[in-house]
Every structure is written in C-alpha cells, then in structure tokens.
Structure 1
Amino acid sequence: MRRRCLTTALTGALALSALTTFLVPAAHADGNTTITDVVVNGGHGLALGATAPKSFPVSVTAQDNSGIREMNLHVRLPSYLYKAADRGLTCTAVSATTTSCTGSWTVDTSNFYGNGPADDSWYVEAYVYANDGDWVSTDRAATFTVRRLAKLTANAAPEPVAKNATLTVTGKLTRADWSTHKYAGYAGRSVKLQFRKAGTSTYTTVKTVTTGRGGALKTTAKAKVDGYWRWYYGGDSTTSTAGATGDYVDVR
C-alpha cells in the first residue's frame, strides 16, 4: 500500500460564522485518492452548554478512480478528546469513484475540567481506503471550533405602557463555564437592544449596551408602538451568539 498525507491547510482566519475549515492536501504524487469535502454539524456553528451532552454529525467525502472501500473517522482535541463515531459510520456511494461517510459524535462537557476546549482547534481525523489498495490518512482533514454556549434574558417594564413613555429594559448575559459546570455572568461585552414591531418578523437594533458586573444589562427606550424587546449578542471567538426571547409590550 502507498500512503499519502494531507499536510497543508487553507490560509486565512477562521470566521466565527464558519464552523469548519477544510484542509486541502498539498500534493498526491503517488496516486489519486483524495478527501474532497468535510462538513461538521451541517456547516452550522457548534456551541456546548454547561453540562448537557451535545451530539453533532460529521461528514467526509472522498474519491479514488477505483472507488472507496472504507473510511475511519475520529474527532480529536489534543489532550482532551479522541473519539470515534457513536454508532459507526453510514456510507453512501455518490458515484463509482466517490463516497460520503457520516457519523454522529456526542460530547459531554461535564467531563471537561476547564474552558480550554473553546480556546483550541478541534480536528477531524480521517483514514480512507480505496478499492485498489491506495489510501490516504490525515489527523487534520478539517479543523473546527467549539464555543461556550451563551444565554440572554430580557424584561421590559412597565407593561402595559403609555405611548411615548419610557421603558426600562433589563437582562443578563451568561455563558457556560466548563470549570464549574454552571452558567456565569459575562461582563464587558457589547450587546444590542433590539425591537420588533407587532405583526412583523424582523428585529431592528435600537442601541448597544455594555454588560456590567455579572453580565447585567439595563437601559431605557421610548415606547411608541406595540412590539417585542430583546437583547442580542453576536458572539466572539470562544462564546456563541445569543438572543433573548422577545418581551412583548402593549403600548396604549
């Protein structure tokens, strides 16, 4: 058998909105077995809570002119995790030369002892075997980010309120702490106060407020029409986005 290793990553920073960076092989001079695509969690961002286990899919597509015989996949976080799919892989032949294999991985943050997993890159490790004996292996078929789950609350008062009167909107931004396995206040973060008029589906940003001690939020706004008030946090490199449930205010 001949071995080919994937060694060179795509250049560029990993955007917060993109969970996975697919790592492209530098060269395959010995043959034509290649990994052509890797998708983690359906391409959506992945955030883990304080304790609840979270399952997510990983799909790897590979091709060889003789067809793909088998794949082995692992999710890896150096010094924390090395895990095969929960129940094996489901593989589908896309064509005579191309196969896609998908598995499900469950990660339980109650087994974490710190927040390091949100600071480090996670990897998809892949071994692909072709029908003609060729194979490709890599411990970095793709790299992806797992972030700490954030939560927001919102309360607008008084309810109901007179037209053009002042509303006070409060709330709190918290995020999962994998050291204590609880949610902790997240101070010093810019959070948007947003409003959605009754009968519409789109929120509009009214102002931006910085969270205080314990992640507390408080500001005022004019009540002009019936609608919903909420807080929205856009996330950061270690923490997910979060949107509070809109608090409906009846304006009279």
Structure 2
Amino acid sequence: MRTGRTGSAAVLAGALALGAFAAPSAEAADTGVKVSNLVVNGGKPIVVGTTAEVTPKFSFHIATPSGTKVSDVTPFPFLYHDTTPAKAIDSGGIYTGFTECGDGPRAADCTGELTVDPRYRLDSTNDATAWKVAVWIRVWTADDKLKGEQFLTGFGTAQVKRAAKVTVDASPEPVAKGGKLTVTGRITRADWARHTYTGFAGKAAKLQFRKAGTSTYSTVKTVSADSAGALRTTVTAAADGYWRWTFGETSTTGGATAAGDYVDVK
C-alpha cells in the first residue's frame, strides 16, 4: 500500500500520515468527494483521563465523483475546537489513528478510530467541551501526486469529557445492628492542565445500599462533596450489605460509581 493512500480494504495509519504531510494554508477547492453518515464514538461522549490513551471509533460512507476511485482518496476524520480545520491539522486537534474503507470503486463504507492521548492533546479544562467534527480529504493521481484536497465540515460535534473517580469506605466494620455507620469517600476528576486527578468540589453523589443476597442497589441519601471533593455522612446499620457512592455525568465530566464496600452487621 502506498503511504498516505487508501486502497481496496486498506488500512490507513492516519496519525502517522498527518505528520508526514504539511497542512494546506487555506481550504482547497471542491474535490467532489462526499462523506455522509459520519458517527463518532457511537454518538456518545468521549471520556478521557490523565494518562491512558483513548481510541474512540468512527464510521462513515464515502462517495467519489466520476474519474476518482475510493482508492485514490485518503479521508482523515478529526476533531477540533477554538480554531479552524486547517490550523487544527498542525496543532490542537484530535486525529485519526487509522481508517479502513471497503472495496467499492466509487463508494464504500469506512471505519476507523481516533487517538486521544491526554498528555499531548488535552492541556486545559477548557478542552472538556463540544469538539467540531471534520474530514480532511486528499485525492491522489495514479503516480502518487496530490491532485486535490479539501476540508469537509458540518458533521456536528463530539463531546469530550473529563474522566471522574469516586471512592468509598464504610466504618466501623463490623458494626452492631442499629449502630451508626460512617460512610466516606472522595470524588476526583481529570485535571488536564496538571495531568492528575483533583477534587470535584460541590458535586452531589448518591449513597446507595445493596442488602447481602440481593442484586439491586437503592439510594439512601444524596450528599454534596466539600471543597476538596470529600464525601461524608452517617447512617443507621440495619443489615449486612454493600455501600457505594455514585453520580451521573455532567456537561464536562463523566459519571462514576465506586465498588461496593461490604459491612457485616452483628
């Protein structure tokens, strides 16, 4: 396979290819290539922590004009915000990890994945926002010369969110039936400026209990975290079972649920 080109059922290493080509200085003329039904991460938010690389999947349909085959085209879906598509290719974007297209001569379904490395692509909490979706199209001649290129936009947005965690500890263990049980925990979320997890101040979390021998948790009360993200409350111990904290996602942050902490009630 020629570097930087798709082929019949070919796999394109998009992130490497992006680094191999200089971005155009302005949006180029219409190539006639059409991209439709572009879906990123199944339409769900992309939740990213502080160190682990995340690879959300995407899919789309591509169609080419007369005289251009699918194998002549390299499509690079990518995400950008607070910039333009052309500038995002050089910096500030979330890029294609790979793209694979089918065997159709002038139309094909394609799949692939983006690569989000928070250490290099996310450096501010302002990155927890709606990123615009675009596709960089490059069209090649039979002898591997660039014939044309274009940025396709208008595919909507993909939400990128900060990953969150929550811990739980219930004590004393064991506890006398009818005695007081103190349940603590801490909510933290990814800080992309520091690349560590920091306290999620003021976030409300549900305290839930699952009686031993059952499979369903029930909410006992809701508690708001303090300025450091700490949770603390007192409940009455009535039966053996598991205690946990849980909370849903916000516009900028993913949700989290702690593993249940078992308490033996004597």
TM-score range, shorter-chain basis?
A: 0.7 to 0.9
- Please say if 1:82 is aligned against 2:96: no
Post-superposition shift, 1:239? 0.8
More helix by share: 2
- TM-score normalized by structure 1? 0.73
Q: Which runs of 4+ in 1 moved over 6 A?
A: 64-67
Contact 1:149–1:175 (CA<8 Å) still a contact in 2?
yes
Counterpart contact for 1:62–1:128, Cα < 8 Å: no
Q: Higher mean Cα deviation, 99-108 or 49-58?
A: 99-108
Alignment counterpart, residue 119 of structure 1, candidates 129, 132, 148: 129
Tell me by how many angstroms 1:61 deviates. Answer: 2.7
The equivalent of 1:233 in structure 2 is 247
Instruction: Work out the CA distance in 2 between the residues paired with 1:43 and 1:111.
Output: 21
Q: Distance in 1 between matches of 2:134 and 2:176?
A: 56
The percentage of counterpart residues that share the same residue type is 38
My pick for the range that moved more, 73-82 or 202-211, is 73-82
Q: What are the within-5 Å matches in structure 2 for residues 189-208 of structure 1?
A: 189-208=203-222
- Partner AA of 1:223 in structure 2: A
Query: In 1, Cα distance between the equivalents of 2:254 and 2:186?
Result: 15
C-alpha RMSD over aligned residues: 3.1
Q: Distance in 2 between matches of 1:226 and 1:120?
A: 44
SS in 2 for 1:85: strand
- Asked whether the 8 Å contact 1:60–1:102 carries over to 2, the reply is no
AA in 2 matched with 1:61? H
Within 5 A, what are the aligned runs for 1:1-252?
35-62=35-62, 70=73, 72-78=75-81, 79=83, 81-86=92-97, 88-92=98-102, 98-125=108-135, 127=137, 138-252=152-266
Q: 1:64 to 1:75 in 2, by over 3 A?
A: closer
Can you give the 5+ residue segments of structure 2 that lack an aligned partner in the other structure? Answer: 1-31, 84-90, 140-148
Q: Larger deviation: 43-52 or 93-102?
A: 93-102
AA aligned opposite 2:37: D
Distance 1:152-1:36 versus aligned 2 partners, 3 A rule: same
Does structure 2 conserve the Cα–Cα contact (< 8 Å) formed by 1:110 and 1:178?
no
Deviations 1:197-222 (A, max 9, x none): 22333221111111112001000112
SS at match of 1:81: coil
Structure 2 length-normalised TM: 0.69
SS of the equivalent of 1:251 reads: coil
Q: What CA deviation, in whole Å up to 9, does each residue of 1:161-205 have, x standing for no partner?
A: 122222110000111111111111111111111112223332211
| 1:6 corresponds to | none
Q: What is the distance in 2 between the residues matched to 1:76 and 1:44?
A: 14
Larger Rg: 2
The answer to whether the 8 A contact 1:191-1:208 is kept is yes
Residue identity in the other structure for 1:203: Y
Question: Does structure 1 conserve the Cα–Cα contact (< 8 Å) formed by 2:134 and 2:151?
Answer: no
| SS of the residue 2:56 aligns to | strand
Instruction: Name the aligned partner's letter for residue 74 of structure 1.
Output: P
- What amino acid does structure 2 have at the position aligned with 1:47? V
- Displacement of 1:98: 4.8
